[in-house]
Amino acid sequence: MPRRRRIQRATLAGDAPEVAPQLLNKLLVHGECVGRIVEVEAYREDDPASHSFRGPTPRTRVMFGPPGHLYVYFTYGMHHCANVVTGPDGTGAAVLLRAVEPLEGIELMRERRHGRAQLADGPAKLCQAFAIGPEHDGVDVCSGDAIGLFDDGVPPPDDPLVGPRVGISKAIGTPWRWRVPPA
């Protein structure tokens, strides 16, 4: 089993559409649960689809902080979604974690997902499986905090699938979703 190295903050300091595909195949770790990131989306401050588009608010303040922190938001009255903040401190950008391939802690994920077959193939399912909630808004994934992003030596794909972002009503045509191609 290759050594896991925590992702460096400098890696996340770039522009969200540049950083996002680099997060493919990285590991999301929370306690005993480990998963490989297989789908992401980029959101930028000058992006009508982004929560940061209208400037900082109490909800989005983490997005405008330094890179490497989690921005966790509540939506549709029942779901949470998790982003990794990117770009320099003061800019509102982030990468939405859309899907993860479960690697470890699968039994625990199954319990949290109430026995359903799909454990983490969506942004809200991923948060449920990994028990990511509002208490994790602002946690630093680059330091020793509970949730971390790690590199285990598997590089991002050379040929990621690219397409439009899901579930938005503005900036429909912007192809800022990336996915690991099927094996």
Token pair for residue 65? 């902080």
Per rule CB under 7 A, is residue 133 in the interface with DNA? no
Backbone phi and psi for residue 37, each to the nearest 5 degrees, phi listed first: -70, 120
Nearer to DNA, 53 or 152 (CB): 53
Contact window for DNA (CB under 7 A) among 30-38, 57-65, 139-147, 152-160:
57-65
Three-state SS sequence of 61-84: HHHHCCCCEEEEEEECCCEEEEEE
Find the binding residues for DNA in span 143-162 (CB under 7 A).
none
Nearest to 36 by CA among 152, 124, 172: 152
Among 15, 106, 113, 157, binds DNA (CB under 7 A): 113
CB of 182 to DNA, least distance (A): 19
Per rule CB under 7 A, is residue 126 in the interface with DNA? yes
Per rule CB under 7 A, is residue 49 in the interface with DNA? yes
Contact window for DNA (CB under 7 A) among 19-27, 43-51, 147-155, 174-182:
43-51
Which residue type, as a one-letter code, is found at position 25?
A: N
Contact present, 78 and 46 (Cβ < 8 Å): no
Nearer to DNA, 108 or 168 (CB): 168
Q: Using the Cα atoms of residue 145, residue 146, residue 151 and residue 157 in order, give the sign of their dihedral.
A: negative
Token pair for residue 11? 């890696």
Contact present, 30 and 146 (Cβ < 8 Å): yes
Per rule CB under 7 A, is residue 86 in the interface with DNA? no
Interface ranges with DNA (CB under 7 A): 41, 43, 49-52, 54, 57-60, 63, 71, 74-79, 81, 83, 94, 96, 113, 116, 118, 122-126, 165-169
